[in-house]
């Protein structure tokens, strides 16, 4: 189970799409959430966990403001894709997430990320906590749209990255490019 961050709290669930994997970490129990249901309700309120168990469909985690924190070390690409898919589904935005719209959004958010470095060349140590937070938000926006595009196009991102890195190794062999860079036209 992921550690709780300083704004720790609850994790609730929604039905998953048929393509999502069956092996998910279960939502926290009332015991793990200090007597509160996974959706943050008091112990006297009906539990979302019971509703999820009665459903035949698998469930997706939806992160609430006080949910256990994800981390690069413990979170799979599939669970991130599910998180984005669930967010879009909750709002009934699926019809807006066409490949063209989402690809454009990736570019727009990447430009917003680049804006933080326009006319500046800070080292990581020179970035304030506030600036790092703003950059992290823009990076998360780029990632969210990439994950959404992968969902829309049914692309396995881990496999695509592995395949691309194999191409890059051939294109830029370490013994030739160590410590230097030049564009290789393919």
Task: State the residue range of the domain holding 144.
Answer: 97-174
The answer to whether residues 59 and 101 belong to one domain is: no
User: Taking Cα atoms as reference points, which of 151, 135, 61 lies closest to residue 103?
Assistant: 151
- In tens, the pLDDT along 22-57 reads 444 444 443 444 444 444 443 343 444 444 444 444
**Lowest pLDDT segment from 6-10, 21-25, 164-168:** 6-10
Is this prediction's pTM over 0.85? no
Q: How many CB atoms lie within 10 A of CB 52?
A: 20
- In tens, the pLDDT along 88-131 reads 999 999 999 999 999 999 999 999 999 999 999 999 999 999 99
Provide the angle, in degrees to the nearest 10, between the axes of the packed helices 99-115 and 129-153. Answer: 160
Helix (H) or strand (E) holding 63: strand 59-63
The answer to whether residues 101 and 170 belong to one domain is: yes
Most confident segment among 2-16, 26-40, 62-76, 126-140: 126-140
Indicate whether 170 pLDDT > 80.
Answer: yes
Separation between Cα atoms, residue 47 and residue 35, nearest integer Å: 11
Residues contacting residue 14 through CB under 8 Å, at least 6 positions apart: 59, 60, 62, 86, 89, 90
| pLDDT, the chain, mean | 76
Q: What percent of the chain has pLDDT over 70?
A: 65
Indicate whether 66 pLDDT > 90.
Answer: no
Estimate the share of the chain in helix, then strand, then coil, as percent rounded to the nearest 5: 45, 5, 45
The answer to whether residues 52 and 103 belong to one domain is: no
The answer to whether residues 119 and 60 belong to one domain is: no
What is the tally of structural domains in the chain?
A: 2
The answer to whether residues 65 and 108 belong to one domain is: no
Separation between Cα atoms, residue 80 and residue 61, nearest integer Å: 10
The mean pLDDT value for 11-29 works out to 43
CATH of residue 159 = 1.10.287.1080
The answer to whether residues 102 and 167 belong to one domain is: yes
């Amino acid at each position: 189970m992921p550690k709780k961050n300083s704004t720790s709290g609850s994790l609730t669930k929604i039905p998953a799409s048929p393509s999502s994997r069956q092996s998910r970490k279960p939502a926290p129990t009332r015991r793990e959430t200090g007597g509160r249901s996974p959706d943050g309700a008091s112990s006297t309120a009906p539990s979302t966990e019971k509703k999820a168990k009665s459903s035949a469909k698998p469930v997706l985690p939806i992160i609430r403001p006080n949910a256990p924190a994800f981390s690069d070390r413990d979170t799979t690409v599939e669970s991130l894709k599910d998180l984005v898919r669930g967010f879009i589904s909750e709002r009934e935005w699926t019809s807006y997430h066409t490949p063209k719209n989402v690809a454009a959004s990736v570019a727009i958010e990447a430009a917003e990320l680049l804006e933080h470095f326009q006319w500046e060349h800070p080292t990581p140590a020179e970035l304030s906590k506030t600036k790092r937070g703003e950059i992290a938000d823009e990076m998360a926006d780029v990632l969210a749209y990439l994950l959404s595009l992968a969902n829309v196009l049914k692309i396995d991102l881990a496999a695509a990255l592995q395949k691309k890195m194999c191409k890059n190794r051939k294109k830029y062999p370490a013994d030739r490019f160590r410590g230097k860079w030049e564009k290789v036209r393919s």
